[in-house]
Structure 1
Amino acid sequence: MSATSASPAPLARRIYPMRATDAPVHRFAVLAPVGLAIVAVLGLTAFSTAGSLAVGAGIAAYTVGAIVFGAKLRRHHDHARLGLANAVTLLRLALVSSLVIPLVGLAPAPIAIIVVATISLSLDGVDGWLARRQGLSSRFGGSFDMEVDSVFALVLAALAVVVGGAPWIVLLLGLPRYLFFIAGAIWPWLYDPLPPRYSGKVVAVIQMITLIVLQLPGLPHALAIALTVGVLGALGWSFGRDIVWLWRRKA
């Protein structure tokens, strides 16, 4: 087959949704039940004190996420392979969904929460590297990773406050992405693409590490507030810089 006859395929895939029989969609559908099993196993072992209803909530959270991103995959993944990066992000979705279980069940399990959250955070740096290494970066992959990160931060913040008894100000650490999204609905130029910034990634990692530290039992409220205020300042600087850049670009 000549290069000319092969070239329209990626463009067509960007315009038209994939079929259920296409390889990426099929692989995603095969891997999704594995994530479901991970949520169930963690719910019945690490978070067993949360109760069956809470386990059901974690399974429901994962199922909704898998369905939503499965639909997005069909429209926005313009490669012939799913890629290891998206498989890793799907695993992270399962780990984050399992954290919904102690939140809904109001079940203190700080060690298990910290272990699961640390594994998820460690994998966060793997999926992007895999996508670049395999040459399979896509609009879908970037969105999938970002939304899992956003839910991860919100769930950890809620766990720290509702289950761990941290000050309510900690909840603000889980809201920046959603506040930015709401602002973008008012000012659409906030949705314009941003240049990659290493400093922004560093701030995001600091945010997640802080949220994991805040799961520690017996952490003094004064220290929790100090950590939260410091990270909120860093997030404000990072988001503020991006907003100024987008505003100047619009102007």
Structure 2
Amino acid sequence: MPLAPPTAPPPSARRDGVLAFAALGSGLVVLGAATGTTPAVLALSVLLGLAVLGAVVRSTVRRRTEPYGPADRVTVARSVLVALCAALLPAGLVPVLATPADGPAGAWCWAVVALALPAWVLDGIDGRVARRTGTATRAGARFDQEVDAALLLVLSLAVAARLGLPGSWWVLLIGALRYLFLLGLRVRPAWRRPLPFSSFRRVVAGIQGGVLLGALVPLIPLPLAVTATAAALALLLVSFGRDVLRLERSARGLS
């Protein structure tokens, strides 16, 4: 028997939101002590972490039409890791932008990988939890996609820094394509139509996080990291192009 849609945020969502902010706060304290950055950079790190996690918690607390389930709890945990990754960005990007020839410190790259790797691995768990507990919802799927998109954006920024800015600006397309597509919806509302399941789309999406994580590992030679990242971007462009073409054909009534 389906559950009745809640009319107010469930206590579990509010509790998990509080715990998520507490975990982020603890992580920011450790980050500030470990990096020893300037107050300005640390303030920027705090703002980025709070912005990412705040958007995530807001989306769960404001949910009214579909229940908040155990899979969402896993996604909230992932979002804390993504927020900490975002908070690490200024510590690595500011020195790179100041002296691009030096590149980010290896310790910074390892720190981002250490936080992003479990966030990427957990992406395969929340959906499984939703299916096994019978709590899969469209809102939960969208929630998961937005956390995925935030992780890819953070990783693409980190990888672009390691490969060398401003020359490696193209890496940012991996993280930006999702948001560019959302902007395209404002111009072309017909793209809002649901797309059929595609194993190609799913595999390509999974590849992006793995390749970006690998490209960020200091042990991987830069030429190999550049080649793998470029190949991943090419696959992503093909996947997005296929979906946009399919949506356009559907909007025009073509088979």
Q: Which residue of 1 aligns with 2:239?
A: 238
* Shift in CA distance, 120/70, structure 1 to aligned 2, threshold 3 Å: closer
Q: Which stretch shifts more, 113-122 or 23-32?
A: 23-32
Q: Which residue of 2 aligns with 1:126?
A: 125
CA distance in 2, matches of 1:70, 1:135: 22
Q: Which residue of 2 aligns with 1:154?
A: 153
Report how far residue 216 of structure 1 moved: 2.4
Give runs of aligned pairs for residues 47-126 of structure 1, distance below 5 A: 48-50=35-37, 53-76=40-63, 78-80=65-67, 82-106=68-92, 108=105, 109-126=108-125
CA distance in 1, matches of 2:91, 2:61: 34
The one-letter amino acid of 2:198's match is R
CA distance in 1, matches of 2:88, 2:55: 23
* Shift in CA distance, 9/87, structure 1 to aligned 2, threshold 3 Å: closer
* Shift in CA distance, 89/223, structure 1 to aligned 2, threshold 3 Å: same
Report how far residue 156 of structure 1 moved: 1.0
Per-residue displacement from partner, 1:51-103 (whole Å, max 9, x unpaired)? Answer: 555454444334333433334334545445x3221111111111111112331
Report how far residue 219 of structure 1 moved: 4.6
Per-residue displacement from partner, 1:102-147 (whole Å, max 9, x unpaired)? Answer: 3112263122222211111101111111112222222321222111
Instruction: Note the residue ranges of structure 2 that are not aligned, 5 or more in a row.
Output: 93-103
* Shift in CA distance, 168/74, structure 1 to aligned 2, threshold 3 Å: closer
- In angstroms, what is the RMSD of aligned CA positions? 2.8
Q: Which stretch shifts more, 202-211 or 235-244?
A: 235-244
**Residues 1:19 and 2:8 are matched in the alignment:** yes
CA distance in 1, matches of 2:142, 2:76: 12
CA distance in 1, matches of 2:49, 2:25: 10
CA distance in 1, matches of 2:141, 2:3: 23
Give runs of aligned pairs for residues 217-228 of structure 1, distance below 5 A: 217=218, 219-228=220-229
Q: How many residues align?
A: 237
CA distance in 2, matches of 1:113, 1:74: 28
Report how far residue 207 of structure 1 moved: 0.9
The one-letter amino acid of 2:87's match is I
Among the aligned pairs, what percent are the same residue? 30
Report how far residue 161 of structure 1 moved: 2.0
Q: Are the equivalent residues in 2 in contact too, given 1:72–1:140 (CA < 8 A)?
A: no
Q: Are the equivalent residues in 2 in contact too, given 1:79–1:136 (CA < 8 A)?
A: no
* Shift in CA distance, 77/70, structure 1 to aligned 2, threshold 3 Å: farther
* Shift in CA distance, 148/51, structure 1 to aligned 2, threshold 3 Å: farther
Q: Which residue of 1 aligns with 2:21?
A: 33
Q: Secondary structure at the match of 1:73?
A: helix
Q: Secondary structure at the match of 1:104?
A: helix
Q: Are the equivalent residues in 1 in contact too, given 2:48–2:87 (CA < 8 A)?
A: no
